[in-house]
């Protein structure tokens, strides 16, 4: 189960450290991740999966993050178990190990990237991906601005959702005995959040326009 | 929407746009004029993006950013617990809402931004925390279909908003539901077949578990959209249906 989502949660799973994985450039780590995941998913052989698992666990160990390696399983195990059971019934024990194993391995490998890279570096990497697309009319600066605006809006919207939920509870909404409680609750929780979001977006847009930020030059 | 030339410009080159050799030039010139410092109001007005080629103003960018954030928040907030231990988040509600409110282009951009940020490692997806790992997960089809779903919901709701206001919520609901079944569920089934190696009947059965929740969420997406259109009437008008 997820912890109750706070803004701290949304900073990601980054664990600061000074291992070689923390120091490795983002491009290298992302490239290795893509190659590893593709190999595992395309080759689909138990030997490859086992080798990749050893590789990923070694990487976790040398980054001093071995305790983190099993953590994705905490939220994923019901789905994986269900999937494994179905595959065992449908196509035998090999698939029952291989299919959930592949997924768990790829998720663990991808998580290692998030664990060892600061969110800011990840987001900068994302913006730099837009740079080669400049020829096609992409605008990395405006893309970066929009991404930064999005990250800045998340804490505001989370706070706004929390406020709305608390005021709904204060009105006794969650103890409402009517049969329609769930729909009423969804509506009471979503409408104010959406309206505040539009108002917030317009304020931000006006503020940007007033400063001439994000307009084309 | 194939008549972009007639829709794009806000003023002069309306219906005449089809006759001009390069309608895009007109719309760009109009925008340059509109986004000057003297007309701050007009750039604050949400102009429903009807041409993908048009440059977005800072008001557009900020709507895109905030709705990407809203999709993220609705994805990670503890959802409504449904039976069978599957907590249903409001993620698809946010996707449909974004499409309906922002229109096809800006809606797809907002949901696409959410998707990119999640793939880059921001833990904004429900269930799994985010990162490239979701591409290997069974829900990849649903996730990757979301920008397309926002675009289709935006297109269909654009048609609804051209009509008189009567029964708007019902028609918007129909638009969202159609989008779900044309875009989201087929893509989700394909993802299940590809990543979870399910056969088509099994994938369809797994997908059907989401149908009731999906119908409910689409109802609420349209209810919320109508409320927002009431609070901000201009979200429903300019650039849309102004032939």
pLDDT tens-digit map of A39-49: 887 888 888 88
Do A114 and A152 sit in the same domain of this protein?
Answer: no
The answer to whether residue A2 is domain-embedded is: no
pLDDT digits (tens, 9 = 90+) for A169-180: 787 765 555 544
User: CB count, 10 Å around CB of B135?
Assistant: 18
Contact by Cβ (8 Å): B141, B149 = no
Single pTM value for the model: 0.77
Last residue of a domain, one of A113, A129, A145: A129
Helix-helix angle B91-119:B58-76, to 10 degrees: 100
Q: For residue A1, is it within any domain? A: no
One domain, residues A145 and A108: no
Of A109, A152, A215, the CB nearest to B58: A215
Residue with token string 């194993």: A101
The last residue of a domain, from among A73, A107, A129? A129
Give chain A's domain count. Answer: 2
Q: Answer for the pair B55, B31: CB distance below 8 angstroms, yes or no.
A: yes
Going by pLDDT thresholds of 50, 70 and 90, the confidence category of residue A6 is very low
In B, minimum Cα distance to A10 occurs at B123
Residue with tokens 């001439």: A212
The answer to whether residues A88 and A144 belong to one domain is no
**Is the per-residue pLDDT at A185 higher than 80?**
no
Q: Which of A129, A145, A168 represents a domain boundary (last residue)?
A: A129
What lies within 8 Å, CB to CB, of B83 at 6+ separation is none
Asked if residue A170 and residue A83 are part of one domain, the reply reads no
Interface-testing mutation among A109, A146, A191, A210, with chain B (most B C-beta atoms within 10 A): A146
Q: Residue window 71-110, chain A: list those with CB within 8 Å of chain B.
A: 72, 75-76, 78-79, 83, 86-87, 90-91, 95, 99, 102-103, 106-110
Q: Does some domain include residue A77?
A: yes
Place of tokens 């987001």: A123
Q: Residues A193, A115: one domain? A: no
Neighbours of A47 (CB within 10 A): 8
Binned at pLDDT 50, 70 and 90, residue B4 comes out as very low
In a domain, A217, yes or no: no
What the block records as the tokens of A72 is 């994705």
Q: b/e per residue, B91-111, with b = 16+ CB within 10 A?
A: bbbbbbbbbbbbbbbbbbbbb
The β-bridge partners of B87 are B81
Nearest to B58 among A72, A185, A213 (CB): A213
Judged by CB atoms closer than 8 Å, whether chains meet at B138 and A191 is answered as no
Q: Using CA atoms, how far apart are residues A132 and B83, in angstroms rounded to an integer?
A: 47
Q: Does A67 contact B at CB distance below 8 Å?
A: no
| Residue A94 and residue A19 in one domain | yes
Query: Do A26 and A115 belong together in one domain?
Result: yes
Based on the fold, state whether residues A116 and A57 are members of the same structural domain. yes
Share of chain A above pLDDT 90, in %: 19
d(CA A94, CA A196): 51
Domains of chain B: 60-236 (1.10.1760.20)
Does residue B143 contact residue B194 with C-beta atoms inside 8 Å? no
The Cα A82–Cα B202 span in angstroms is 12
Do A159 and A107 belong to one domain? Answer: no
Helices marked H in chain A — which ranges? 20-23, 26-43, 46-62, 71-91, 93-116, 119-129, 140-170, 181-211
Q: Residue B235 has which token pair?
A: 């979200």
H-helix segments, A117-180: 119-129, 140-170
CA angle A119, B136, A120 (to 5 degrees): 5
How sure is the predictor about B129, in pLDDT bands with cuts at 50, 70 and 90? low
CB-side neighbour CA atoms (13 Å) of A66:
7
User: Token pair for residue B117?
Assistant: 């940020």
Rounded CA-CA distance B229/B69 in Å is: 20
Contact A146 B216 (CB under 8 A): no
In this predicted structure, what is the pLDDT of residue B7?
38
pLDDT band at B210 (very low <50, low <70, confident <90, very high): confident
The reply to whether A149 falls in a domain is: yes
Q: Say if residue A30 is in the same domain as residue A72.
A: yes
Judgement on whether residues A26 and A98 belong to the same structural domain of the protein: yes
Integer Cα distance of A122 and A144 in angstroms: 12
Q: What angle do CA A217, B1, B5 make, to 5 degrees?
A: 50
Q: Are residues A123 and A156 in the same domain?
A: no
Q: Tell whether the model's pLDDT for residue A190 goes beyond 80.
A: yes
Residue A68 tokens, joined: 């983190």
Domain limits for position A150: 137-211
- Interface residue B78 vs chain A (CB under 8 A): yes
């Amino acid at each position: 189960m997820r912890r109750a989502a706070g803004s701290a949660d949304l900073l990601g799973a980054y664990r600061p450290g000074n291992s070689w994985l923390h120091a490795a450039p983002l491009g290298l780590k992302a490239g290795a991740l893509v190659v590893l995941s593709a190999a595992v998913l395309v080759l689909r052989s138990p030997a490859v999966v086992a080798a990749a698992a050893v590789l990923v666990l070694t990487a976790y160990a040398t980054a001093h993050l071995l305790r983190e390696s099993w953590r994705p399983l905490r939220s994923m195990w019901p789905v994986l178990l269900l999937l494994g059971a179905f595959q065992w019934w449908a196509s035998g024990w090999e698939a029952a190990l291989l299919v959930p194993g592949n997924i768990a391995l790829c998720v663990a490998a991808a998580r290692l990237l998030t664990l060892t890279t600061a969110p800011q570096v990840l987001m900068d990497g994302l913006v730099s991906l837009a740079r080669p697309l400049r020829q096609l009319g992409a605008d990395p600066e405006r893309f970066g601005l929009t991404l930064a605006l999005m990250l800045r809006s998340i804490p505001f919207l989370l706070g706004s959702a929390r406020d709305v939920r608390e005021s709904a509870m204060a009105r006794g909404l969650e103890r409402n005995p009517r049969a329609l409680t769930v729909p009423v609750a969804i509506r009471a929780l979503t409408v104010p959040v959406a309206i505040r979001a539009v108002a917030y977006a317009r304020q931000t847009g006006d503020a940007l326009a007033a400063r001439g930020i994000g307009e084309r030059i | 929407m194939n008549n972009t030339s007639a829709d794009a410009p806000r003023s002069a080159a309306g219906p005449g746009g089809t006759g001009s050799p390069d309608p895009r030039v007109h719309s760009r010139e109009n925008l340059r004029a509109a986004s000057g410092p003297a007309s701050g109001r007009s750039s604050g007005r949400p102009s429903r993006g009807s041409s993908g080629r048009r440059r977005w103003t800072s008001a557009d960018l900020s709507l895109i950013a905030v709705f990407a954030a809203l999709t993220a928040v609705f994805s990670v907030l503890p959802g409504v617990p449904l039976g069978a231990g599957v907590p249903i988040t409001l993620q698809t509600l946010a996707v449909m809402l974004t499409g309906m409110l922002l229109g096809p282009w800006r809606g797809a951009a907002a949901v696409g931004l959410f998707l990119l940020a999640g793939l880059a490692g921001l833990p904004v997806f429900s269930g799994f925390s985010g990162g490239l790992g979701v591409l290997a997960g069974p829900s990849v089809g649903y996730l990757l279909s979301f920008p397309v779903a926002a675009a289709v919901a935006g297109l269909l709701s654009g048609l609804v908003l051209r009509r008189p206001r009567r029964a708007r919520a019902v028609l918007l609901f129909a638009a969202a539901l159609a989008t779900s079944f044309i875009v989201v569920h087929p893509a989700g089934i394909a993802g299940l077949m590809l990543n979870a190696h399910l056969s088509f009947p099994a994938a369809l059965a797994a997908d059907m578990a989401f149908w009731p929740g999906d119908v409910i969420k689409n109802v609420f997406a349209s209810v919320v959209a109508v409320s927002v259109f009431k609070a901000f009437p201009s979200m429903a008008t300019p650039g849309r249906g102004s032939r």
